[in-house]
Structures are given as structure tokens and as C-alpha cells.
Structure 1
Amino acid sequence: MAISLQKGQKVDLTKSNPGLTKIVIGLGWDVNKYDGGKDFDLDAAAFMLNADGKVMEDKNFVFYNNPKSPDGSVMHTGDNRSGIGDGDDEQIKVDLGIVPTGISKISFGITIHEAKERNQNFGQVSNAYVRVLNEASGEELIRYDLGEDFSVETAVVVGELYRNNAEWKFNAIGSGYQNGLAGLCKDFGLDV
């Protein structure tokens, strides 16, 4: 049975699931009734961070335009441009066993594509969640439902995997940004 987290909660991932190395980060959302006349496109991304919380090279920023990290440990499975339908809207696969030792943390974010130009924000999004699945079995291990705490934000860091000695843990973050993908990238040490 999946562990349901609240904002700020942390949980062991590999310690409580011995032998687990391949996981899927599933991200999902729905768009509230929206009649702005433009598509509403949310995008998932993963930031592979060093001990200082920075991305050391652009290729360690994994998203629809860079779907795979150089070492193959993190892979975006594809861009969903509508969010329509049940289940995960986008997924990112992580092979914990081959994440380079210089990577201390992998942060996962959701951004709204062209949010400023389209006058869109997370106040128009509902049922957003992140979940961690065992890739081999499909079993949901961890789930964090973000709730409706956002209004003007155009990007959200939903959660992060982080190393704790030889184990991996998951932290439910739920932190919003008003300056979209550019703001996330800047905070993680990338120039856009």
C-alpha cells in the first residue's frame, strides 16, 4: 500500500523497499474549467543536483527537449500537451543504481508552458500529484497530492529524491514559483 505524504514529509524509499533500483515518478494534474482560448500545457522536469543544490551541466536538466541524462539514469518518457485522461500525465524514470555519485538530489518540477503569454497559472490547475512507482511491479510506493494551495504560481517543485548515506529518500516539497521554468532553472544554477 502506498504511503501518502503531506507537504514537508520525508520517507525512506530504498531502505523500506530492499532491492529497489528502478522507479517511475508519475506526475498528474487536471485543468479547471478554462476558457482562455489557448491550450493549457504542463510539463514535468527533473533537475539532477550536486551537494550545493545546483545542476552542474545543462544535460542534467531532464525534460521534453532533453529526455535523457548523459548517464541514462534519468529519462523523461514524453510530453503530454493536454493533461486529458486518467492516470499520470507525464512520467520520469529513474534508475537509482546508476545515478552518478556526484548527484545528491533529484528535484521534480511541473511548469506551465508559456504561462505568462497565455495568462495561465496553477490556480487554474486541480488534482495535481506526484507518485513514486516500482518500475518492475507497477506498485505505487509513495503519493503526494498537492492540494489547491496555489494561485499565481506558474511552476511548482513537487518533490525530490535525495541520498541519505547509501539509501534514497523522498521529500514532498510542494513549493510554488511565480516566474515559471526560468525561475526554477535560475534557482538550480542554470542559465535560460
Structure 2
Amino acid sequence: MAINLEKGQKINLQKSDGSSLQQVLLGVGWDVAKSKGFFGFGGGSDSIDLDASCILFDENKQVLDVVYFGQLRSKDGSIQHSGDNLTGEGEGDDEQIRVNLANLPVQVKSLVFTVSSFRGQTFEKVENAFCRLVDQSSNQEIAKYKLSSQGSHTALIIAKIYRHNGEWKMHAIGESTQGRTFQEIIPHVLPLI
């Protein structure tokens, strides 16, 4: 049974038997908000190009690597991105990032997941946004976090997976910010890690 995470909540990344998760998948999905035209007719809807990214930090908050639509694999191969979804159409995850926690280099202390609107459309045009964490070995959903905080922001700092006393934990951050790319979001991430 998946945990429905709330903003600020932290969980241990363990299986039901108490062993540590080794391989996780972070799935992100969204829909285009239905716009209402005159008397509810027209208005149409555009596609929304949201981009999921994973930023790897060391203990000194220095960026070690980034996985996003322009670099689909981390340099060490432990993290893989499913590729860019330009519309948000379809059911389920629109973009996925797979993480092999066991193979992450020891200097990686935290992974921060973000989603940003590449074309600068605000989240007022997005609905039903979510992220979910899945145990890849069993394909079981561990946690789900609703991101549908509509507003004039162009990015969300979704969550952080981090090492604490030799164990991996997840922190649902859920902070809205401005930025079309991960480079523009990093300054907003640093105070949160």
C-alpha cells in the first residue's frame, strides 16, 4: 500500500521486510488544465512541456551531475531518464527517472528531483500533477505525492532522496519556484538541501 505523502513529510526507503530499497523509479505525470472559453465553449488547450530532472549533490551542496532530457544518463550510469514528454498527454507517468541507489557513487549525498515548464507556461495551465516512487524490483508503488498546486510558478522542487546514517530517505519538498531549466532552479534548491 503506497503512502500518500504530504508536503514536508519524510520516509525511509525500505521494503516491507525492512531491507533497503536498491532500485527506485520516480514517475512524474500531469495533464493540461481544461480552459473554459465564453459560456464554457472554446478556450481549447495547449500542450504543456514539463521536464523532470534529477540533480546530484555532494555533502558540500556542490552539483556532481544532472539527469534531464538533455542528458538521459548520469555519468556513472546509476540514474536513467525515460526521455522528454512534450505534451503531458496519456495516462500514468509522463516522464520517469530510474535510480539504482546501490550503484550511486559514495560522494553523492542527495538527489533532488525537480519539474519545470520548459516553454515558461505557468502551473495555472497544469492539473493532476503527481510524482510517485516505485520499488523497481517488485514494481510496487511506495509513495505518491500530489503536486497540483496551481499557480503562477514555472517550476516545482518535488522531492529529495538523501543518505542519512547509511540509509536512504525521501523528503517530499513540494516548493514552487521560478525556472524553465534545472540551471535556473539550482539556486532555489540549495537552501532546501
Is the TM value for this pair above 0.5? Answer: yes
Matched position secondary structure for 1:168: strand
Deviations 1:49-82 (A, max 9, x none): 11133313xxx11001100011111110111111
Q: Which amino acid aligns with 2:156?
A: V
Could you tell me how far 1:188 is from its partner in structure 2?
5.6
Over the residues paired in the alignment, what is the CA RMSD in angstroms? 1.9
Aligned residues: 181
Task: Tell me what 1:47 maps to.
Answer: 55
CA contact (8 A) 2:114 2:156 kept: yes
Q: Which residue of 1 aligns with 2:128?
A: 127
Cα deviation 1:125-151 (Å, max 9, x = unaligned)? 111111110112210011111233x31
**Structure 2 unaligned regions, length at least 5:** 36-42
Larger Rg: 2
Distance 1:36 1:69 in 2: 38
Q: TM-score, normalised by structure 2?
A: 0.86
Q: 2 CA distance for matches of 1:38 and 1:26?
A: 22
- Contact 1:53/1:188, CA 8 A, preserved across alignment: no
Q: Which runs of 5+ in 1 are unaligned?
A: none
Q: Report the secondary structure of 1:180's partner residue.
A: coil
Asked if structure 2 preserves the Cα contact closer than 8 Å seen for 1:132 and 1:142, the reply is: yes
Q: What TM-score comes out, normalization by structure 1 length? A: 0.87
Decide whether the 8 Å contact of 1:73 with 1:98 is kept in 2. Answer: yes
**SS of match in other structure, 2:4:** strand
The percent of aligned pairs where both chains have the same amino acid is 37
2:21 matched to which residue of 1?
Answer: 20
Counterpart CA distance in 2 for 1:47 and 1:101 is 15
